[in-house]
Amino acid sequence: MPSYLFILGRDYKLSLLEIVAYLKARKIKHRLREYSEKVAVFSLDNLDMKKLIKNLGGCLKIAKVIDPDSILFTKNKVRYAISDYGSNFNSLKKLKDVFKREKVKGILKKAARKKQMMPSESIKFMKKGTEFVLFKDYLARVVAVFDPKEHEGRDRKPKYDFKKVISIRLAKILINLSQINKGLLLDPFCGYGTVLQEALLMNSNVIGVDIDRDVIRDAETNLRWLKRKYGFKGHYKLIRGDSTKLRFLVKNVDSVATEPYLGPFWKQLPSKERAKEVMDGLEELYFEFLKELRIVLKKEGKVAIIVPKIRTKNGVVGMNFKRILAKTGFKVDNFFNKISFPVLYANTNDRIEREIYVLRQ
């Protein structure tokens, strides 16, 4: 099997878990050779890498490991770029030896930022040149790059509220962590439908539930817009309802990917006392929801879910999620033995930290 370097996003643990879950769900034979905080090296069956990177939320580039002896150039002058993710002397020497052997003049394009090209820079350069990736002793040629303009286009949906909308990147990660593959995906707190839209574009059927009548109407507007602009083959259903009463709304779902209600939008850090009051209510919501979810989720189904932690003026207030799992019968699904859930997803200035879990029955 050929080997590939996957350039991981900022949250490298989530990026790596997402790749493993995606391959596992599709029964794609693979082997993880090694990984760092920037790069994961996989040997796997031949895939459409451009399609793969479109479906991943946490991967920046994919580069195919190449044998220097197999590189042939048809021109005597080549424009090339190097993104170095922690190479040793040998990987760079291999590339220079190829130019020397082939009697090719290499014109190096330096990255604008540090030692690596950013995705938008890579896309522009690769229209007229070749980007090589160096990592340890590996030499690889970039074959697929994440295109941020695609996300920007889908973020221009008709109905949007930044206080309530999950990012496309995180939506994709949750979908892939749920290990859905063309089955029926449920988002029981669907909001404006970002998780639903990304799952539809990945050929899954979806059901979205939300308690807010206006939000469900806006989600319908967004999905109709998505159908017109991008097209998709899957089917969707939107239900206005209370997800603590799921048994009366849906049945027999294959997987769940969701960011439940995480509490109010905090303009400033709350007191610890106020945060505890909010968290008590959220714990009740999560308990009632997960209790109902066990009834409607297929036995082998996975749940990718976000659990909040509230930053306060005097520390962080979290949820006793282990107790909720024990009471509802769900278990943490640590499907990758090198990284355990939960995985923290947070920026420095966030009022809410997100812990991401994958659950099983």
pLDDT, one tens digit per residue, over 333-352 is 999 999 999 999 988 788 99
pLDDT given for residue 106 in this prediction: 82
Angstrom CA distances, 354 to 98, 311, 347, 357, stand at 47, 11, 10, 10
Query: Considering only CA atoms, which of 209, 175, 180 is closest in space to residue 195?
Result: 175
pLDDT given for residue 76 in this prediction: 81
Q: Which residue has the higher pLDDT, 100 or 354?
A: 354
Sign, CA torsion 334/180/28/130: negative
Identify the CATH number of the domain defined by range 151-360. 3.40.50.150
Contact between 278 and 264 under an 8 Å Cβ cutoff? The reply is yes
Cβ-in-10-Å burial (0-12, 13-18, 19+) of 323 comes to exposed
pLDDT in tens, 194-224: 999 999 999 999 999 999 999 999 999 999 9
pLDDT given for residue 256 in this prediction: 98
Q: Which amino acid is at 32?
A: L
Element holding 324 (H helix, E strand): helix 321-328
Angstrom CA distances, 180 to 84, 170, 185, 204, stand at 34, 15, 7, 8
Least confident span in 18-27, 98-107, 167-176: 98-107
27: left (phi over 0), alpha (psi -120 to 50) or beta: left
The first and second tokens of residue 58, run together, are 């946490």
pLDDT given for residue 187 in this prediction: 98
pLDDT over 90, % of the chain? 79
CATH C-level class of 3-146: alpha beta
Dist CA 65 CA 88 (whole Å): 15
pLDDT in tens, 79-105: 889 999 998 877 778 888 888 888 888
Contact between 115 and 69 under an 8 Å Cβ cutoff? The reply is no
Residue 162 has pLDDT above 80, yes or no: no
pLDDT given for residue 114 in this prediction: 77
Local structure of 69: helix, strand or coil: helix
pLDDT given for residue 172 in this prediction: 98
Dist CA 176 CA 263 (whole Å): 25
Domain residue spans in the chain? Answer: 3-146, 151-360
Query: Considering only CA atoms, which of 71, 25, 19 is closest in space to residue 42?
Result: 19
Average pLDDT value for residue range 159-185: 91
Q: Which residue has the higher pLDDT, 323 or 156?
A: 323
